[in-house]
Amino acid sequence: QAKSRHDYQPPAFLIPTIDLHFELDSAATIVSSVMQLRRQTAGAALKLDGQHLKLLQVLIDNKQLSDAQYDLSGESLTIPDVPDAFELKIVTQIAPVENTALEGLYMAGNSYCTQCEAEGFRRISYFLDRPDVLSEYRVTIKAAAASYPYLLSNGNKIAEHITADGSRIVQWHDPFPKPCYLFALVAGDYDLLEDNFITASGREVALQLFVDKGQAHRGDFALQALKRAMRWDEQRFNLEYDLDIYMVVATDFFNMGAMENKGLNVFNSKYVLAETATATDRDYFNIESIIGHEYFHNWTGNRVTCQDWFQLSLKEGLTVFRDQEFSADMGSATLCRIDAVKLIRTAQFAEDASPMAHPIRPESVLEMNNFYTVTVYDKGAEVIRMLQTILGKEGFAQGMALYLKRHDGQAATCDDFIRAMQDANRYDLSQFALWYSQSGTTQLTASQQYDAATQVLTLTLGQSTAATADQSVKKALLIPVRIELLLSGNEKQSHLLLLTEYDQVFSFNNISNEPVVVWLEHFSAPVKLQQQSSDDALLHIAAFATDGVARWDAIQQFWSRKVAEVIAGKNAQHVLPPKLFQMMQSWLRDPGDDKALIAELLSLPDFETLAEQYEQIPVDGILSALEQFRQIIADRLQSDFVSCYQQVPVSAYQYDEASVGNRRLRALCLGYIAFQHNSQQLLQAHYHQADNMSDTIAALMASQQAQTDTFKALLADFSQRWNSDVLVMDKAFGLAATQPSEQVFTSIEEMQSHPLFSWKNPNRVRALFSAFSMRNPRQFHSADGKGYQLLQYAVAKMDAINPQVAARLITPLLSWRRYDESRQQAMRNVLQVLADSSSLSNDVFEKVSRSLS
């Protein structure tokens, strides 16, 4: 029963207003919904979506319907015969405490919480659960006053009182019409952090952050980040916040990162709570970026929403792009970009090569929750970035302004967005629009020719996109290829090439000597690049390119060649030129100001990045090559790592660009030093002297990766120290699950009986099992199939509890065709076991069946 994008029909009815009443009760919440409806399509029956609801009453214009007047089959409520304009009242009963899927209204500990995107509202009441039905909401919530000091919903609070029998009743009104996926309700007892923000035009906005009791001291960073995001959107895109209040609630029970509900964001507490002792630099970065992301949705998502779920990238790709630009402005732009590139090259390329391949605007969907993907989000953001590259920052901003002006208050499409960009810039984007409909990763081939006599440089570019699981024919895309020419004597030139053909030649005159060409500078398009440049040229780029991302990229490509050579049988020592070590040495001796970049330049590519360069992934070959290179580097530069480690300044913890860089470089050095047999003391010292979680984790990871005995002791100490703090215990679960040794299986077993571990909490399950399957290639791909069996066990167990999380967990198994025969067999076996189970959710079924067919 998959849905197809082309089957879109406008809604047969509109629902301009809805009045919702909740009487909260964990086992029997009563929801009454009063809606005004208006017919759009003559003759159509009214068909409302609903799931897991107990229907108590249906009334039309205050008259109760008899059973014969409606049909309750499948997951809908159909009323065949309704007037053109009428009031519909529906009363339902739901059981939040039984809702372990965490969609709709559920219990998060003692609190009530909702998640309605994509199609969770239908678990609250019967409704037209689709993003193109926009309503003005009034919400009344009733609960025991003493246990529920806070009863929250979208918009402005208009009344609150306590009844004689001790119930609290709060009313909310959201003046902005919205689709039901943006509805939210939260009820509980929280610590509240308050602040305010004055918008550019001088309006005061109250900011409120609700966190679990006792966590208030961990909320300040998020609140400050929110203010930075609000200011940034004013300055960069001229966009102001529109309500008088902005609320953020942090919960430990959440399927995803966070949710942009109008005026009432709900966040996974992992992406809100931070203090020096418990949060790493990465955590701080994520919090700022996700706080930004959800805030930016207020315009790109809420004020302008999506016509249907196939258009998801309209809001998500665009909003990820916006949060990336925000993060780049707040910290190191180079580091942000490197992170984004890594994600595309690992998870996104893998998705394109998998049975789940889809364009950023999918064509066919069974379970919408399966399409909140790295393709829709992150490749989607790359597509927006390319637009900005092609149109220029100014032109892009004009396109944004036109898009928001045209579609404010509407449910729009990706085509609407392209049209606004096109009209604002008078630029034909019809070929560019193929990025929305074509799936797969494009291969770019690049070569150069130089004629010294005529001083002409000729660059040849070619593109090809292999067929994907969902689509066989691929057209030529418009690909912006940024290049830099590195000429002799430090002379440099930058150019933007627009590749529109399958093969194209670009010529440059008056080039006085043969340059080294930096291709795809700043990763100007989400493609794979095959280039002819010599190893020497790559190292030259790593040393001299202007763009830090290009420098990192060149050395990554260098390493991936070397890995390939070792896999092909060459000696690991012999393939590494002296020049490489000289360069690494000079970075270590004089790291300069951008220490974080230096740390990246000194890092080997990770397994996942390398794996994506092979159709058939040589698991053991990649792991062994990486291991050999790591040991060679550690040995050859031993004293340089030690002295760099000692020279990098250490100061009391602060989260700013320079100190993050210092910590990163020290951690990098420590990681290599750990491979020396006498490193135990230093690892111990680093761990015990740490005044912050970044350094603590650095010691744990270094000792873990080098498989030292120290690791066991440190992890035991760490788990002991934090055994009552869920957020930090998630890190311990992750460390246990990413041990490269076989010990990992015992550790995962033990961790499952930790008092804080719970199958009902997605963060816990992800911390243990996603870490294992996505960040422990050695043991996940263990030749005896034990890793696959462990994941199958977790997926099956989880599917009965929370299908959405189970379906994400299964991802690494779907690509079974890309491994050697015996691994293929082992992976297929566990997929088959899942497929044969009688009670599979839609979520897992869609993936397993695509994968096995």
Write out the catalytic residue numbers.
Answer: 294
CB 804 within 8 A of CB 846: no
Cβ neighbors of 20 (< 8 A, separation 6 or more) are: 31, 32, 33, 34, 125, 137, 138, 139, 140, 183
**Residues 351, 352, 355, 361, CA torsion sign:** positive
What would the two tokens of residue 399 be?
Answer: 């396109």
626-484-489 Cα angle (round to 5): 100
What would the two tokens of residue 170 be?
Answer: 């709060």
Q: Using H for helix, E for strand and C for coil, what is the string for 330-372?
A: HCCHHHHHHHHHHHHHHHHHHHHCCCCCCCCCCCEECCHHHHC
Q: What, of ligand ARG, Zn ion, none, does residue 636 touch, CB below 5 to 8 Å by kind?
A: none
Q: Which span (105-113, 257-265, 397-405, 434-442) binds ligand ARG, by CB under 6 A?
A: 257-265
Q: Strands across the sheet with 456-465, in order?
A: 503-508, 456-465, 442-451, 528-531
We find the least distance from the C-beta atom of residue 297 to ligand ARG, in angstroms, to be: 6
Distance CA 127, CA 183 (A): 12
Question: Of 270, 90, 93, 120, nearest to 181 (Cα)?
Answer: 120
Q: What, of ligand ARG, Zn ion, none, does residue 369 touch, CB below 5 to 8 Å by kind?
A: ligand ARG
Among 49, 129, 294, 594, binds ligand ARG (CB under 6 A): 294
Query: Is 325 an interacting residue with respect to ligand ARG (CB under 6 A)?
Result: no
Q: What, of Zn ion, ligand ARG, none, does residue 70 touch, CB below 5 to 8 Å by kind?
A: none
Q: Which span (258-266, 391-399, 419-427, 518-526) binds ligand ARG, by CB under 6 A?
A: 258-266
We find the least distance from the C-beta atom of residue 319 to Zn ion, in angstroms, to be: 5
Among 372, 417, 745, 816, binds ligand ARG (CB under 6 A): 372
Q: Which H or E run contains 511? A: none
Query: Is 299 an interacting residue with respect to ligand ARG (CB under 6 A)?
Result: no
Query: Is 739 an interacting residue with respect to ligand ARG (CB under 6 A)?
Result: no
Closest to ligand ARG by CB, 266 vs 813, is: 266
CA 122 to chain centre: 25
We find the least distance from the C-beta atom of residue 1 to ligand ARG, in angstroms, to be: 19
Q: Which span (210-218, 223-231, 252-260, 444-452) binds ligand ARG, by CB under 6 A?
A: 252-260
Length of the chain (residues): 853
Q: What, of Zn ion, ligand ARG, none, does residue 288 touch, CB below 5 to 8 Å by kind?
A: none
Per-residue interface string for the shown chain with ligand ARG, residues 418-457, x marking contact by CB under 6 A: ----------------------------------------
Per-residue interface string for the shown chain with Zn ion, residues 303-342, x marking contact by CB under 5 A: -------------x--x-----------------------
Distance CA 396, CA 542 (A): 31
Query: Is 316 an interacting residue with respect to ligand ARG (CB under 6 A)?
Result: yes
Closest to ligand ARG by CB, 369 vs 739, is: 369
Q: Which span (255-263, 354-362, 601-609, 686-694) binds ligand ARG, by CB under 6 A?
A: 255-263
We find the least distance from the C-beta atom of residue 12 to Zn ion, in angstroms, to be: 29
We find the least distance from the C-beta atom of residue 252 to ligand ARG, in angstroms, to be: 17
Q: What residues between 73 and 132 interact with ligand ARG by CB under 6 A?
A: 117-118
Query: How big is the site for Zn ion, counted in residues (CB under 5 A)?
Result: 2
Query: Is 259 an interacting residue with respect to ligand ARG (CB under 6 A)?
Result: yes
Q: What, of Zn ion, ligand ARG, none, does residue 46 touch, CB below 5 to 8 Å by kind?
A: none
Distance CA 233, CA 296 (A): 7
Cis omega before residue 118 (within 30°)? yes
Q: Which span (254-262, 387-395, 479-487, 641-649) binds ligand ARG, by CB under 6 A?
A: 254-262
Closest to Zn ion by CB, 336 vs 619, is: 336
Distance CA 58, CA 817 (A): 51
Cβ neighbors of 108 (< 8 A, separation 6 or more) are: 102, 188, 251, 252, 253, 254
**Tokens 């490509």 — which residue?**
557
Residues lying near ligand ARG in the complex (CB under 6 A) = 117-118, 256, 258-260, 293-294, 316, 369, 372
